[in-house]
Every structure is written in structure tokens, then in C-alpha cells.
Structure 1
């Protein structure tokens, strides 16, 4: 992606090997103290999330309406523009990083390289997971933290009772900090459960969640190119364990079908 670092959310904080970092320095202390007294509403989360995703949309190549990636995403998720009381919108970023993220305003962004290696069932599981983060208000926590970091970096008062208007530079820092956030293991597990329930309720193949995690595990294994993935996975739920949790639920529900050996595809799965 352009100008912003990559990480988040379904992929257990899978970072780009070349991800940029924000040096918070002494500002981190300001954030910590300000966060204790800062009032942050759902409306604030939606507003700041929209500003962040608008910035990212402007600074990354977005697949057009007739692009095969967009056509595929609309085919899969066109009927889920409203889901569980949420109003959602979907776009594809045509970038090399393998990931997806969601924002508190209902924006879901899927990276083309993720779509290249995931089947339709696996993508349904991935985005179901992202919807879970929005529904569980995990993304609200992430954007609040990102806002405080961006404001503190520019010496704004993080202890204010209202959200300040940010300039473009601050919005860029906020977007960067949001993408540089990670969810707790508990939040990831809860979003995994939401994804499974989403798949089951809509009569999708829940085994897709299992194979998605298996592919994620393969991406985190071995090789210099994967070292950044391995490092970041240390603080997040183990992908193989997450896959096994899906398998146990599917077996209990009578929905398990052995997919056989899971491998990463050698050709793009764009159709």
C-alpha cells in the first residue's frame, strides 16, 4: 500500500516486511495519560474511521467497478451490504500485501493478493471475521488509539472531551496507526467465532474458515521473505490452533468435510 504501513486484522497482524513504523517517542506518555479521561463515542469512531479509509482509498490503487477483483467481491458479498445491523461497503486494494481490514464505519477493504490465494469459501470466512471485529467494536478501540497517537504526535490535547478536526497529515498518521494496531487474542477468538456463525447462518461451507487458517499458517512458515510474518504471529493466536477450533465446531455441528491437504495455489484465484 502507498504511504501507510500494513497490518491487521483477520490475518493476525500480518505485517508487510517493509512496513513503515511511527516513532512515538515521548508522545506515547501523552497518549496513555490522555486516554484515561478521553470520551469517545460510536459516532466519533465512525467519523474518524471514514476519514481514515477515505485517505487510504485516495492513496492506494482501488479496483474499478469492472475489474475482475471487484466483480468477484460483489458476487460474494453483494447481499451482505447490510449485515447484523451494520451498513457495509467493500472495495479491493490492488496491492502485493496479503490482508484485509474493516473499519468502524462499515468499510471493508480486501487486498487483491489475498484474493489471489483464497477460494470463495475462504474469502467469505475472512470477511465474516472482519465484520465480527466491527460488530464487537474492536475497530472502535483501534481507531480511538490511532486518533490519540496521531493527535499526540502533533502536540494536540489527547485529554480533550471532544474529537479534534485533523488536517490531512494527521489523518494520514491516524490511518497509519490504525493499520499498525493489533487485536488481543480474545478479540481475535471472538471474531473467529463470529465468522463461523456467519458462515453457518448463511449456509456457506464453514470448512472454508479452516482452510483459510491453514493457508495463513503456511504463509507464516520458513524463509527470509516470511520472517516478518513469523515475528508478528508470536503475539497472536496460532493459525493452526485456530483452524483446529473451527474443525471441532464443524464436527460438533455435523458440517465437517475433510478438505485434504491444504496448499497455497500457484495461480491466481481471481474468478
Structure 2
């Protein structure tokens, strides 16, 4: 199935253009059946489901080999950040032309070739900081739990049996699509922006990289090129997000 772009717009949600693909295979189906068997989903179950979903995504997209220039560049950028806020992270590059990136509850971070082509190293780190912020803030886990519960309810109603264990292949596909294309709330986006700002500041990187990354995405988004998802989507808009970073940096004495 063709999954929606995940954009970073939340930086993790540009539901518009990508062709990153995923399919509901038996592995993910089994994980889902185990995961929604009860009304309460544990963090461990959500992490397991995330890992299964990313495994499916990785199998369906071209991944840069360790000796590939894109993989080497990413490895250099994140060399100091294999674990963030106690969460082990694993990074890979999708050799896909779309401008995109995403992170999932299990600590998987995927960056698209198209994004790497237009961003500096510092800007890529800022975007990944935002995506990781969604993981640290538990936004990704909460979104998955919500999707699973909704799927479980639909299954129970459709079967008429009251059981939550019967999940069809199409429902698995629908869940994957929701997980990858879901948008976060305005407040969650702002908090992820703040996390990235703090991450850059703590590690002595330029916080202005976050502002310039938003500005580049805003320019692409408004240019009609069709290669940027809604990341920066509508809440809040990318220009406002960039200005907010600039205002904060001035207040902190990090720029004029």
C-alpha cells in the first residue's frame, strides 16, 4: 500500500506526497492482534508495534547502505546522538526523493534523501531534534494507542462478537496509514519545536538552524513544487514557527 507522507511537519507530518510504502504482512498483523487484545495498551506493546511497522517500511523502501555517501553523512551528523533522553535511536536514510523525515515510538529515525539534499547538517539535526521530541514527549506513543483503540473498536463492532482480536488485513493497512500520516496537535508541535531548540542549545549547536529549516520548508511548500508534505502544515504555519524561534533566540542572547 502507498502510505501518506509523514512529513516533518510536525516535522513529522506532511501528509501529502510521499511514496514510502508499507504492507500489512503477517508479522505486523500478529503484533496488532497481540497489542489490541486488551483495553489497556502498555508502552512496551506500542514500542513493539512501532518496531514491526518500521520493519515493514524498511523492507519496502530503498535504504542507503553503510558505505553510501548519504548514510555516511547522516552517521557523521548523529554520531554524538545515538541515545537521546535515555532512548536508544537507530537512524537510516531512505533513498527517496521526497522531502521528509519521521521518528517512531521505538526510537527509529528515518530521513529521506530529498530532505538531505536541501538541508545543511545543522538543519537536518534540528529537524531530527523535532522528530525525536515527539518521541520523548510521548506524542508518537499516544497517537499509536489512539489508532489501535479505534481499530479495536471498529473490529468489535464489525464482528458483532465483542472481541478485539479479529483484525483484518485491510485494517492493518489502515492502521499503518494512520500512524504514518497522523498529524499532531498545535500544542504538540510547539512542544516538539521547543524540544529541538533545547536540544540544539544544550549541545552547543546553532538554534537558528531550526528557524532556517522551517523557512526552507515554507518556501518549498509555497512554491507549488509538490515535493513537500504538510509538515509544516497548518498548525502552526512554518513562517510563524521560524519567527518564534528567532524571537526566542534573541531573547536568549543567541542572535541579534
- CA pair 204-243 structure 1, distance change in 2 beyond 3 A: same
Give me the whole-angstrom Cα distance separating, in 1, the residues matched to 2:81 and 2:228: 33
Q: Is the 8 A contact 1:53 1:175 kept in 2?
A: no
Give me the whole-angstrom Cα distance separating, in 2, the residues matched to 1:14 and 1:246: 20
How far does residue 40 in structure 1 lie from its aligned partner after superposition?
1.9
- CA pair 156-115 structure 1, distance change in 2 beyond 3 A: farther
Give me the whole-angstrom Cα distance separating, in 2, the residues matched to 1:227 and 1:94: 15
Q: TM-score, normalised by structure 2?
A: 0.81
Q: Deviations 1:16-54 (Å, cap 9, x if unpaired)?
A: 34779xxxxxxxxxxxxxx9x931221121011111111
- CA pair 165-53 structure 1, distance change in 2 beyond 3 A: farther
Q: Does 1:71 align with 2:72?
A: yes
Identify the residue that residue 13 of structure 2 maps to in structure 1.
Answer: 13
Give me the whole-angstrom Cα distance separating, in 1, the residues matched to 2:7 and 2:63: 18
Give me the whole-angstrom Cα distance separating, in 2, the residues matched to 1:16 and 1:230: 6
- CA pair 13-230 structure 1, distance change in 2 beyond 3 A: closer
Task: Count residues in correspondence.
Answer: 237
Q: Is the 8 A contact 1:52 1:172 kept in 2?
A: no
Give me the whole-angstrom Cα distance separating, in 2, the residues matched to 1:208 and 1:18: 24
How far does residue 250 in structure 1 lie from its aligned partner after superposition?
1.0
Which shifted more, 5-14 or 214-223?
5-14
How far does residue 56 in structure 1 lie from its aligned partner after superposition?
0.4
Alignment of 1:1-271 (within 5 A): 3-9=2-8, 10-11=10-11, 13-17=13-17, 38-148=39-149, 151=152, 155=155, 171-223=172-224, 225-226=225-226, 229=229, 233-234=233-234, 236-256=235-255
Q: Is the 8 A contact 1:45 1:144 kept in 2?
A: yes
Identify the residue that residue 263 of structure 1 maps to in structure 2.
Answer: none
Give me the whole-angstrom Cα distance separating, in 2, the residues matched to 1:174 and 1:184: 19
Which shifted more, 209-218 or 164-173?
164-173
- CA pair 79-163 structure 1, distance change in 2 beyond 3 A: farther
- CA pair 230-139 structure 1, distance change in 2 beyond 3 A: closer
Q: Which structure 1 segments of 5+ residues have no match?
A: 21-34, 258-271
How far does residue 253 in structure 1 lie from its aligned partner after superposition?
1.8
- CA pair 163-90 structure 1, distance change in 2 beyond 3 A: farther
- CA pair 104-255 structure 1, distance change in 2 beyond 3 A: same
- CA pair 78-228 structure 1, distance change in 2 beyond 3 A: closer
Q: Is the 8 A contact 1:149 1:177 kept in 2?
A: no
- CA pair 110-227 structure 1, distance change in 2 beyond 3 A: closer
Q: Is the 8 A contact 1:3 1:59 kept in 2?
A: no
How far does residue 169 in structure 1 lie from its aligned partner after superposition?
6.0
